[in-house]
Amino acid sequence: MKGKRIVVGITGGIAAYKAAALVSALAKLEADVRVIMTESATRFITPLTLQTLSRHHVAVDTFEERDPAVVSHIDLADHADLFVIAPATANLLGKLAHGLGDDMLTTTLLATQAPVLIAPAMNVHMYENPIVQENITKLKRLGYRFIDPGEGQLACGYVGRGRMAEPEEIVQRIREILAEPVTDLSGKCVIVTAGPTREPMDPVRFLTNRSSGKMGYALAEAARDAGAEVVLISGPVSLETPYGVRRVDVGTADEMLDAVLRDLPRADVVIKAAAVADYRPAQVADYKIKKSGEEMVVRLERTPDIAEEVGRRKQSHQLLVGFAAETDHVETYAQDKLKRKNMDLIVANDVTQPGAGFEGDTNIVTVYDRDGEVLRLPKLSKREVARRLIGLIGERLHAR
């Protein structure tokens, strides 16, 4: 933390008083703390308070240029190691999601290339408003990081989600972000497969699985943030395409294989995060199968093994990363799969563990290579797991 320039943005909510504790804690850790306040924020806490705690001038007015050698908001944007918005009001989220810059804080945020951590705080009904949630989803998709609000008694009298995270939690999250390895995948092409496949029985029925695609989409975002060109080959999911990522929609295992092989020659990394159906109906009816009798027998046949085919074709410079969702003997099955399919890394999880199964927002994984375990992660958000995995992949690529 020592010497890291952290810009704290404070917006006009009652939780602004917590920002004083946050700034004080960061200053005690010897961070170089700069504060930007919106005009509304100054109605809740004074700039003098934050100036005293940070030991630096507090920026409020976009047109207050104290140093003629620089443009203030560009200088802050360029030299920041991290931006923290605490509290972040619904108004700030809306402006940021739509690229609006009408004050010192929003213009600086639009200009920065540093990571941005956002701590929302507002009334529970405001937070749950579909428009606010849509703005949060969009910002997450664009790479902004969030520390979710807590639940409890709110200043307005309601009880529910909307309390700004405590300063101690925010400081811990800041530590984690600043400790992340810098991964540079500039000039690299990364293929990520995500979601389930659907294997049709007739025009209205199909075999599929519970994969939501969230892990694969998080990996695509993390690879994009590291500078890679990302091709996301996705089965049917209800997720938005990450900004700056080329998405290829597929339905069946055959279609996913064809899409992977089309881009394989130019890929540096292939991450097989999709849950591809192992079997499909041997015959697909042209018309809807009508109900008849007490039971129906469906004969199944194997689908193509995409990871095995990529492992057979991959070149020496290419890295193949697979996933293994298991319910027992996780390490044994994962390492067997890695060797049989010529993978370089395999990410294994026990889907019976709470927080590690399908459809959720968290995961618990262990990564193996041919020599054994190389990384074990506790329960983390899938976005955080993705960042750690992309960091490991970057290390392996650069080591080559």
Token pair belonging to 224: 């994009």
SS3 state at 293:
coil
The answer to whether 248 touches 233, Cβ cutoff 8 Å, is yes
At 110, which helix (H) or strand (E)? Answer: helix 104-111
Token pair belonging to 237: 């999911």
Whether 156 is catalytic: yes
AA identity, residue 21: A
Give the Å distances, CA to CA, from 39 to 33, 120, 239, 267. Answer: 19, 18, 36, 49
CA–CA dist 175, 165 (Å, integer) = 15
- Residue list for the binding site for CTP: 278, 288, 323, 337, 341
Q: What are phi and psi of 232, to 5 degrees?
A: -105, 110
Closest to 8 in 3D by CA, of 279, 22, 17: 22
Give the Å distances, CA to CA, from 363 to 178, 234, 274, 360, 389. Answer: 22, 20, 15, 8, 12
Token pair belonging to 283: 């015959």
Q: Which residue has 């996780």 as its token pair?
A: 330
Burial class (CB in 10 A: 0-12, 13-18, 19+), 334: buried
The answer to whether 349 touches 376, Cβ cutoff 8 Å, is no
Give long-range contacts, CB 8 A cutoff, 24+ apart: 102-107.
Answer: 103/38, 103/39, 103/62, 104/36, 104/37, 104/38, 104/59, 104/60, 104/61, 104/62, 104/72, 104/73, 105/9, 105/11, 105/36, 105/37, 105/38, 107/62, 107/73
The secondary structure of residue 196, as a DSSP letter, is: B
CA–CA dist 362, 383 (Å, integer) = 8
Q: Which of the following is catalytic: 70, 131, 156, 282?
A: 156
Question: What residues have CB less than 8 Å from 293, skipping those under 6 apart?
Answer: none
CA–CA dist 391, 223 (Å, integer) = 9
Q: What are phi and psi of 93, to 5 degrees?
A: -60, -40
Mind telling me the catalytic residues?
156
